[in-house]
Amino acid sequence: MKAIFILVLYFSCVGAFMDAQSWMPMEQKPLNLRYEIPYNWYVGGYMTGRSCHCTSGTINTAPSRELNMVIFYSDEEHIDSLKRQDIWGYRFVTPSVTEQISTPYFEFEAATSRWENDSDIMVMRLSASKGDHSYVIYFWGSDHIIGNARETILHIINSISLLS
């Protein structure tokens, strides 16, 4: 019985340690942002200009490609203009209800809805401004995936801060 208890305790501690070590810090200088994503996520690099209708952006994707994240940044576009942009031909259906999510660095306006041309996909849009910096962040995937990834999404959102 003691051996089982010790094994359970050991794996619980190892699991907690692994979870604490499973985040990769990101510094996206063109976006003036720092944040964390899970270590096994794909980092898509930077987008600029016409590819994102923004000053710059970045995309991160879970290994299964079932959960995706994109951050758009502009120091020229107002946040309302940046939120109206299509995302590679997909248009976010703005819901009538939004909520505020406060993090240590940002006050995000959060909205959950669908893509206009793909209603099977759930989309979370978060938007915030700090001075001249405007950010719009999208997470998308199936209802099931978004629901199961809520803690991961909240960790990412809470880790976002400005570099300067």
Averaged over 144-154, what is the pLDDT? Answer: 94
pLDDT at 43 over 80: yes
pLDDT for res 53: 55
Q: Which domain holds residue 95?
A: 25-162
pLDDT for res 1: 44
Q: How far apart are CA 73 and CA 108, in angstroms?
A: 14
Write out pLDDT tens, residues 63-76. Answer: 998 999 999 888 87
In a domain, 1, yes or no: no
In a domain, 9, yes or no: no
The rounded mean pLDDT for the chain is 82
| Interior/surface letters 131-145, b for 16+ CB within 10 angstroms, e for the rest | eebbbbbbbbbeeeb
pLDDT at 136 over 90: yes
pLDDT for res 55: 64
Q: CB within 8 A of 142, min separation 6: which ones?
A: 66, 120, 121, 122
Share above pLDDT 70 across residues of the chain, in percent, rounded to a whole number: 81
pLDDT for res 51: 54
Asked if residues 109 and 135 have their Cβ atoms less than 8 Å apart, the reply is no
The end-to-end CA distance of the chain, in Å, is 54
pLDDT at 13 over 60: no
Tokens 């719009």, residue located = 136
pLDDT at 7 over 60: no
pLDDT band at 88 (very low <50, low <70, confident <90, very high): confident
In a domain, 137, yes or no: yes
In a domain, 13, yes or no: no
CB count within 10 Å of CB 35 equals 24
Encode 16-61 in three state secondary structure. HHHHHCCEEEEEEHHHCEEEEEECCCEEEEEEEECCCCEEEEEEEE
Query: What CATH number is attached to the domain comprising 66?
Result: 3.40.1000.10
Q: Does residue 17 or residue 102 have the better pLDDT? A: 102
Domain count, the chain: 1
- Token readout for 57 is 């952006």
pLDDT for res 89: 83
Averaged over 79-103, what is the pLDDT? Answer: 86
pLDDT for res 19: 47
In a domain, 2, yes or no: no
| pTM for the predicted model, two decimal places | 0.82
